[in-house]
């Protein structure tokens, strides 16, 4: 019985770290955003994102809806340095790592990605939108700010 409890406990304790950054990497500040909602609303939640220069971020983008949605911001890409984007499977395990500058991604229903980046230059009201047909017109727009005194 003790063994089973220990096994269960070790699963609970280790699973959140399965997708975590390697211990020697910089510590990322986690920010969450969803594209669409479970009940089919055409919006980003939240629809305004603010990042600060000098920090390192992990932006977790999830699609809880049953539609395909884009997370697109051409301006944002020019203000950050992307370290990598990790694509997760249903269990939260990384199945792909993408490197290079990124300004557009499409998430299928249930999909989740983690975008690791450094904000480089300040920016105000950088446009975020979903370019799936008619989605922007229905409210799938948002804005991204990059602030900081540096
Ligand atoms: Cu959309």
Q: Is residue 55 part of a domain?
A: yes
CA of 3 to the centre of ligand 1 (A): 47
Task: Give the DSSP H/E element, type plus range, for residue 77.
Answer: helix 74-79
Question: Could you give phi then psi for residue 52, rounded to 5 degrees?
Answer: -115, 135
Q: Is residue 2 part of a domain?
A: no
Q: Is residue 80 part of a domain?
A: yes
Q: Is residue 8 part of a domain?
A: no
Q: Is residue 4 part of a domain?
A: no
Q: Is residue 12 part of a domain?
A: no
Indicate which CATH number applies to the domain containing 65: 2.60.40.420
CA of 132 to the centre of ligand 1 (A): 5
Map tokens 């939640």 to a residue: 45
Cα separations in angstroms, 66 against 42, 62, 81: 11, 12, 31
CA of 69 to the centre of ligand 1 (A): 4
CA of 14 to the centre of ligand 1 (A): 34
Q: Is residue 141 part of a domain?
A: yes
Domain of residue 77: give its range.
22-147
Provide the residue-wise pLDDT of the chain in tens; the chain has 150 residues: 555 544 444 444 444 444 444 556 679 999 999 999 999 999 999 999 999 999 999 999 999 999 999 999 999 999 999 999 999 998 989 999 999 999 999 999 999 999 999 999 999 999 999 999 999 999 999 999 999 986
Number of domains in the chain: 1
Q: Is residue 15 part of a domain?
A: no
Bridge partner list, 143: 48, 127
- pTM (two decimals): 0.82
């Amino acid at each position: 019985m003790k063994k089973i409890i220990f096994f269960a406990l070790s699963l609970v304790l280790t699973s959140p770290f399965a997708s975590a950054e390697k211990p020697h990497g910089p510590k990322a500040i986690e920010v969450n955003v969803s594209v669409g909602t479970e009940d089919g609303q055409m919006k980003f939640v939240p629809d305004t994102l603010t990042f600060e220069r000098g920090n390192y971020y992990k932006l977790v983008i999830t699609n809880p809806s049953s539609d395909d949605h884009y997370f697109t911001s051409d301006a944002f890409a020019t203000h950050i340095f992307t370290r990598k984007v990790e694509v997760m499977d249903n269990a939260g395990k990384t199945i792909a790592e993408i490197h290079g500058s990124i300004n557009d991604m499409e998430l299928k229903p249930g999909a989740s990605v983690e975008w690791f980046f450094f904000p480089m230059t300040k920016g105000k009201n950088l446009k975020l939108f979903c370019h799936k047909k008619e989605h922007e017109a229905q409210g799938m727009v948002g804005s991204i700010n990059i602030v900081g005194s540096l």
